[in-house]
Structure 1
């Protein structure tokens, strides 16, 4: 898929992500919340999470509690 050999692939791959909420237009999550998310589409039709910023349907996001470092 990363080599472009998969016919049905979005330009940005990645099917899950973790990070901090930068903005949430619907108000479901506070800015700065630590979250994990599933992108949806399995990297075929929806742009994925291999990016500095991404957007995800709120229904695919969960707030997480962790003291683990990002690395």
Structure 2
């Protein structure tokens, strides 16, 4: 059984019980990764170490802005 089939069973069970359905597989992955990254930076600050910006964030942001096409 794959994740989608298990999700369908869970949705069916939730509907039978009147509960809220669970989130689809993969929907919360990016949020979880972002929260883990934020927590790691928070722990770094509490430890008294300097927090550095991620490599390439300034360049990546400038490149993304340059790639945008006017509507």
Instruction: Place the TM-score, normalised by the shorter chain, in its bin.
Output: under 0.3
TM-score w.r.t. structure 2 length? 0.21
- Structure index of larger Rg: 2
| Larger strand proportion of the pair | 1
TM-score w.r.t. structure 1 length? 0.21
